[in-house]
């Protein structure tokens, strides 16, 4: 089956995941079960550290912190197997979001 990245973007807060409402955290914990119910498979999943821990590389220039300012930051991601893009989008819609969004991207075969 094809693989997709489900990228999770949320408004960044000082305490990161700790600032999410408990019902949203609980909903995140149910995502793997719900993906299986849809016939998909999670291959990998991770939350990310705050953007203040990022190091950005642009050519020969290395900068501490994120390269651009934005209202939302990547908070985590899933790598999933899905039948097709529509199936991957259905999986992405399972991810609870407070004030951000979810991006679904096909991964290059490799």
Percent of the chain topping pLDDT 90: 51
Q: How confident is the model at residue 68 (pLDDT cuts 50, 70, 90)?
A: low
Give the model's pLDDT for residue 17: 62
Give the model's pLDDT for residue 69: 63
Taking residues 68-87, what's their average pLDDT?
A: 88
**What is the pTM assigned to this prediction?**
0.84
pLDDT in tens, 5-59: 999 998 887 766 667 788 988 999 999 999 999 999 999 999 888 888 888 887 8
Strand partners for 78: 6, 45
Give the model's pLDDT for residue 66: 59
Which CA distances in Å does 76 have to 1, 60, 61, 102, 110?
22, 27, 25, 10, 22
Give the model's pLDDT for residue 19: 76
**For the chain, what is the total number of helices (H) and then of strands (E)?**
2, 6
- Whether pLDDT at 67 is above 60: no
- CATH topology (fold) of 3-106: Alpha-Beta Plaits (3.30.70)
Which ranges of 1-110 does DSSP label H, i.e. alpha helix? 22-37, 85-92
């Amino acid at each position: 089956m094809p693989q997709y990245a489900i990228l999770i973007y949320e408004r960044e807060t000082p305490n990161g995941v700790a600032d999410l409402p408990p019902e949203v955290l609980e909903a995140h914990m149910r995502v793997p079960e719900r993906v299986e119910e849809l016939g998909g498979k999670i291959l990998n999943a991770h939350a990310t550290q705050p953007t203040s821990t990022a190091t950005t590389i642009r050519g020969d220039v290395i900068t501490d912190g994120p390269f651009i300012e934005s209202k939302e930051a990547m908070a985590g991601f899933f790598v999933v197997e899905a039948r097709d893009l529509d199936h991957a989008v259905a999986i992405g819609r399972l991810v609870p979001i407070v004030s951000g969004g979810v991006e679904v991207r096909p991964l290059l075969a490799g």
